[in-house]
Chain A
Amino acid sequence: MANAKTTSQPVARSMGRSLLMTLPMALWTLLMFTPGLMKPGLNQHIAAVLTGAFMVWLFYRMLRTGQTYRWRRIFFVALGFLFPVGFVAALLTLRGSMSIPIEHMISGDTPFCYMVIPMLIIPAALTHTLAFPGSILPTPSNPHSIAAMIGLWLGMTLVLGKAWCAYGCFFGGLEEGFASITRRARIRKLDERLRLVPWAVLLAIVLLSAAIFEPVYCMWLCPFKTVTEFPAVHDAETAIQFGVFVLLFTGLVVVLPFLTKKRTQCGFFCPFGAFQSVFNKINIFDIRIDRTRCVDCGLCVVKCPTMAINPESVNKGETLMSCMKCGACVDSCQKDAAVWHIKGTEVGRNPERARLLFLYAAWAMATMFGGSVIANGLSTLLHLIFRG
């Protein structure tokens, strides 16, 4: 790491060095996509090879250029747009429809989603009952226990903090895609208080879920039901439910990101994001502002896709706890003042080492989860293209 960033960015590594440093990730990717290659069908094989190559190439570009946000965004947008493709195709094949009758939902025919986790805690602690179809431990009829998934999520969250929202979540990519369409934001002035809304949504759904024993967010507020699976419309109430989903999706995932160039659903609504923010406090990686270099130009504040930096936090030399470590501020800073950092170390001292340690962990997770989702979506697309 002789040429690691200490003075100026981006770091431009030599091709050989970058390739060498990409090798561990390439091996990890091979390990992750070997099951895809074992599956029968040319589409799966092509999808696995293309996705594996895609993930390794992006990681290589991150090392070669020293930039994070630009390459991560390509992966994340691909993940956001290909997730619904694979998911909906599976639904249509299995069920013939994106809608699910409420009785099927209650009997457990709906996949577990991490968004539910905050709503499970109080009812599970008080009554040992899940306010979501499924079982805490594996059963013969349902081998995918919720405890195992929560354990997996917890492990990743402890290591990466809120970086889940930038490297793991398969919803955020859609709005990041819509936010990337235009070069300049149509709406630039946003109320600072908006970034508190996710906390209010979190508190409201946790209290309501505990009170009525229902995953309130999934039943009423999830914008992504529009492009995945939603309760079948059979009366006025379910029609209103569906209307709310569509309205939230259109507003927060399509229109507002386009107008503001921000991830509005993630930054101003998502309760799971607020929940993840708590884990940023006990996570070793963060982004800091080196006050000795900062000239208060405010570029990092403008570039942050979720308003996780404001002038006050810049003054304190840190980001807010809602920072998801996407790297937008670091890559945009002209003075190298925004830096990757490991807690307990001196700010600005070898930030590239902190970035690399973070990236290896984050990209390994991205490949494991996002990569398989992308491969699945790609395989579906190939199937549609070649077989109709």
Chain B
Amino acid sequence: MGLFLTARLMGYMAFAVVAWLAGAAVPRAWETHRWPMALVNLLLAAAMVAWALGWPRRKCGKAGRSTLVQIDQPVRSRRSSALLLGFLTGINFCPPFLAAGVRAAQLNHLAAALVFFAVFFLGTVVWFAPMAALGLVRRSSAVVAVARMTALLLALWYAGTGLMILAREAFHG
């Protein structure tokens, strides 16, 4: 568990750096405009729709099943498996993670982005132990369906917010 969580933290930190660099790469001239924020909202909405419709899974199918991490099989090196699994779940682009990435991209300093993601990590760790047991709910098709519908609704919200920002920008400058 320790190795898994350490690797997960590394994943978080790596993502914080990438998110902040992406935010820093936005030219200063754009700061007077709100359309980059609208674009981010629309991208987030698109990612949520893709997740809700199960696009990555449908695209990969059974052939896309991991051969690197097989937690249900006896593995030679459990240590490397735990590390890999931790890192991969640390950069898992789930909707809340992407939303946090957007927040990190808006911060002024890299250190602030790292602290933000470290706190985000702590927040998820607190919940991690009980949530691991709750992973069983994924076996319920109803729970998965509700989660996907919720993602669609939230995508609608983000898309609406993005479009409204764009409309304001277009009409009021």
A237 to B153 CA separation, bound complex (whole angstroms)? 19
Does A365 interact with chain B (Cβ within 8 Å)? no
Does A208 interact with chain B (Cβ within 8 Å)? yes
From B36-44, B58-66, B119-127, B142-150, give the one contacting chain A: B142-150
A208 to B151 CA separation, bound complex (whole angstroms)? 12
By a CB distance below 8 angstroms, the chain B residues around A156 are: none
Does B75 interact with chain A (Cβ within 8 Å)? no
By a CB distance below 8 angstroms, the chain B residues around A384 are: none
Q: How far does the Cβ of B62 sit from chain A's closest Cβ, in whole Å?
A: 24
Number of interface residues of A (CB under 8 A): 13
Q: How far does the Cβ of B74 sit from chain A's closest Cβ, in whole Å?
A: 37
From A60-68, A180-188, A196-204, A245-253, give the one contacting chain B: A196-204
Q: With CB as the reference atom, state the residue of chain A lying closest to B167.
A: A236
Q: Are A203 and B150 in contact (CB under 8 A)?
A: yes
Which one of B147, B149, B157, B167 lies within 8 Å of A197 (CB-CB)? B149
By a CB distance below 8 angstroms, the chain B residues around A203 are: 146-147, 150
Does B164 interact with chain A (Cβ within 8 Å)? yes
Most buried by A among B147, B157, B167: B157
Q: Are A199 and B157 in contact (CB under 8 A)?
A: no
By a CB distance below 8 angstroms, the chain A residues around B150 are: 200, 203-204, 207
Does A189 interact with chain B (Cβ within 8 Å)? no
A259 to B145 CA separation, bound complex (whole angstroms)? 26
Interface size, B (range): 10 to 19
A204 to B150 CA separation, bound complex (whole angstroms)? 6
Q: Are A196 and B167 in contact (CB under 8 A)?
A: no
Which one of B153, B164, B167 lies within 8 Å of A200 (CB-CB)? B153
For the complex, would chain A's binding face be called helix, strand, loop or mixed by DSSP majority?
helix
A200 to B146 CA separation, bound complex (whole angstroms)? 5
Does A193 interact with chain B (Cβ within 8 Å)? yes
By a CB distance below 8 angstroms, the chain B residues around A216 are: 157
A204 to B164 CA separation, bound complex (whole angstroms)? 19
Q: Are B145 and A193 in contact (CB under 8 A)?
A: yes
Q: With CB as the reference atom, state the residue of chain B lying closest to A274.
A: B146
Q: Are A196 and B157 in contact (CB under 8 A)?
A: no
Residues of A192-239 whose CB lies within 8 A of B: 193, 196-197, 199-201, 203-204, 207-208, 216, 236-237
A204 to B156 CA separation, bound complex (whole angstroms)? 10
Over the window 135-173 of chain B, the binary record of Cβ atoms lying under 8 Å from chain A Cβ atoms (1 yes, 0 no) is: 000000010011101101110010000001001000000
A204 in contact with B142 given A196-B149, A197-B149 (CB within 8 Å): no
By a CB distance below 8 angstroms, the chain B residues around A204 are: 150, 153-154, 157
Q: Are B164 and A237 in contact (CB under 8 A)?
A: yes
A197 to B146 CA separation, bound complex (whole angstroms)? 7
A196 in contact with B145 given A236-B167, A237-B164 (CB within 8 Å): yes
Q: How far does the Cβ of A258 sit from chain B's closest Cβ, in whole Å?
A: 25
By a CB distance below 8 angstroms, the chain B residues around A200 are: 146-147, 149-150, 152-153
Q: Are A207 and B149 in contact (CB under 8 A)?
A: no
By a CB distance below 8 angstroms, the chain B residues around A197 are: 149
By a CB distance below 8 angstroms, the chain A residues around B167 are: 236
Which one of A196, A208, A236, A237 lies within 8 Å of B146 (CB-CB)? A196
Q: With CB as the reference atom, state the residue of chain B lying closest to A193.
A: B145
A207 in contact with B154 given A236-B167, A237-B164 (CB within 8 Å): yes
By a CB distance below 8 angstroms, the chain B residues around A208 are: 154, 157
By a CB distance below 8 angstroms, the chain A residues around B157 are: 204, 208, 216
A347 to B8 CA separation, bound complex (whole angstroms)? 51
Q: Are A196 and B153 in contact (CB under 8 A)?
A: no
A203 to B146 CA separation, bound complex (whole angstroms)? 9
A208 to B142 CA separation, bound complex (whole angstroms)? 22
A294 to B150 CA separation, bound complex (whole angstroms)? 36
Q: Are A199 and B154 in contact (CB under 8 A)?
A: no
Q: Contacts A203-B146, A208-B154 given; 12 further ones with Cβ under 8 A? A: A193-B145, A196-B145, A199-B146, A199-B149, A200-B147, A200-B150, A200-B153, A201-B153, A203-B147, A203-B150, A204-B157, A208-B157
The 6 closest A-B pairs by CB, nearest first: A200-B149, A204-B153, A200-B150, A203-B150, A199-B146, A204-B150
9 contacts between A and B (CB under 8 A): A196-B145, A196-B146, A197-B149, A200-B147, A200-B150, A204-B153, A204-B157, A207-B150, A216-B157
